[in-house]
Amino acid sequence: MLDIATYESERRIRGALVLAVLLALLSLLFVALFPSIASSGADLDAYMESLPPAMQAAFGATGAFSIATIEGFLAVELYQFFWLLLLGIYTAYVAGGLVAGDVERGRMDVLLAAPVSRRRVVVEKFASLVPVVVAVNLVVGVVVYATVLAIGESIPLADLAAVHLLSIPYLLACGAIGLLLSVAFDQSDVAKRGGLGAIFALFLLETVSQSADAGWLGAISPTRYYDPTAVLVSGEYDWVGALVLLAGTALLVAVSAAWFRRKDIA
């Protein structure tokens, strides 16, 4: 059971740990810079308010909170951009190679020669992303909390844990989009770049629709259902949004599996 998921996870865990360390170092740098920025006298809130509405929405800086606090600073500078956008893109990019990579290299024929269903191949390959996503969240969450304490600041541990816990459904939804493209295309690069572009486009759709008073347009974007700023600044946990993301993920994986069952592999 789960032989394919275990094999794929073991192949990716080293890369996941490297990514986690790089993100942890980036987080450490951001947090370490906070005392000097906070004491510089710079009016960060006025600067953010001077940005166009679309850019304010992209950074999650709605003007309802101050980014001169450690919670607001982390939300705007780290989680709203690097975590929400760049890590989402990375997850979709990796997922784009889950199926297409083996098809392109001719390894899928060997795998399907074994007594294993196509649906199981797709589901287990997607499941191999779960340890990667969890490992990144664990490592970076611990480093952020320890660094905040080290600079003499404090942040509610429950809120920080919720930011990382709720990001798991979001990142899996991004991965499910990449998986669907990985089944749709036989070329790994096409599927990976498609996943990259899809997450970026959905991020922009949610951002622009909010600033253009057409919020309904962003309902198809995963970013609608995960708001790290609300968690860190206001302590608001969107559990319903997490369920929507998990349901959307399950639907995309099911569609991918059904598609792959009927697909001719060249």
pLDDT at 243 over 70: yes
Q: What is the pTM for the complete model shown? A: 0.89
Measure the CA angle with vertex 17, ends 15 and 22; round to 5°: 95
Q: How confident is the model at residue 168 (pLDDT cuts 50, 70, 90)?
A: very high
CA angle centred on 133, ends 130 and 138, rounded to 5°: 120
The residue that leads in pLDDT, 3 or 57, is 3
Both tokens of residue 175? 């991965």
pLDDT tens, residue by residue, 129-157: 999 999 999 999 999 999 999 999 999 99
**pLDDT recorded at residue 54:** 64
CA separation for the pair 86, 68 (Å, rounded): 23
One-letter identity of residue 213: D
- Confidence (pLDDT) at 169: 97
